[in-house]
Amino acid sequence: MAEQLDRLQKVIARSGVTSRRKAEGLIEEGRVTVNGEVVKTLGTKVRPSDRIEVEGIPLENPDKVYILFHKPTKVITSVSDDKGRTVVTDYFPQLKERIFPVGRLDYETSGLLLLTNDGEFANQMTHPRYKIKKKYVAKLKGYLLREEVKQLEKGIMLDDGKTAPAQVKVKSQDRDKNSTLVEITISEGRNRQVRRMFAHFGHEVVKLSRIEYGPLNLKGINAGDARELSPHEVKMMRNMAQNQS
């Protein structure tokens, strides 16, 4: 039986790595190869058996989707909510793929959240064995002491065990307003971990946002907005997880 031919940009777009318009740009820039040859002609027909690479990365997961989302506060990290509250997948009504969040951010926490339909990728990102670093910015009640920073950096005992060493950077402190703005980077993902780490010293977290997830950040993405990860970024995230196992 003859194999079905399809236009290259359509196949790339259908693979979930980018939009058709962006796929056209990638082709014209010479960043796409078919069976090892650079193809710059839009509309080139390809067969399912052709080996297509975008930026050197094979299109091996045609139905996989990877999204970087800037979650606003007051949105549930779930695909449904029995109380009818807004959930993260409500932001993607146009997607036919059944995506789900990678790990979770609290209802009151904003920031970088990945969504995908690739269970293996989600597992790699969240498994404690793969120590992906996550950076948060937190506004705390009270004045974070140097000694407290040192203890957080070494690890502290919470009710579910000792925390791994964290990186902590105080950005500003206001004695009059009795508040501290701090960045904290952790490699674990326990429930409400950052809030509990500061609560250990009596500091309530009044605002919390995740600003980095491994090499990914929120540059150019406002709360409620999203973008797809590039094939290169997906590959980088996978490699990072594997190298840290």
Catalytic residue list: 106
Task: Report the alpha-carbon distance of residue 39 to residue 55 in Å, rounded.
Answer: 12
**Which range in 18-26, 59-67, 160-168, 190-198 contacts ligand URA by CB under 6 A?**
190-198
Kindly identify the residues of this chain, within the stretch 90-109, that bind ligand URA according to CB under 6 A.
Answer: 105-106, 109
DSSP per-residue codes, 80-143: --TT---BGGGG-TT--S--EESS---TTEEEEEEEES-HHHHHHHH-TTS---EEEEEEEES-
How many Cβ atoms are within 10 Å of 102's Cβ, its own excluded? 24
User: Site mask, ligand URA, residues 146-185, x = CB under 6 A?
Assistant: ----------------------------------------
Pick the binder of ligand URA from 195, 203, 214, 241 (CB under 6 A). Answer: 195
**Closer residue to ligand URA, CB minimum distance, 67 or 166:** 166
193 near ligand URA, judged by CB under 6 A: yes
194 binds ligand URA (CB under 6 A): yes
Residues 110 and 29: beta-carbon distance below 8 Å: no
Residue 221 tokens, joined: 């993405």
**Least distance from C-beta 192 to ligand URA, angstroms?**
4
CA–CA gap between residue 143 and residue 9 (Å, rounded): 55
Residue 71 binds ligand URA, judged by CB under 6 A: no
Residue closer to ligand URA, measured from CB, 37 or 159? 159
211 is a contact residue toward ligand URA (CB under 6 A): no
- Distance (Å, whole) CA 131 – CA 126: 8
User: Closest approach of Cβ 142 to ligand URA, in Å?
Assistant: 16
Give the torsion through C-alpha atoms of 162, 215, 21, 69, to 10 deg: 30
Least distance in angstroms from the C-beta of 45 to ligand URA: 47
Query: What is the binding site for ligand URA (CB under 6 A)?
Result: 105-106, 109, 192-195, 208
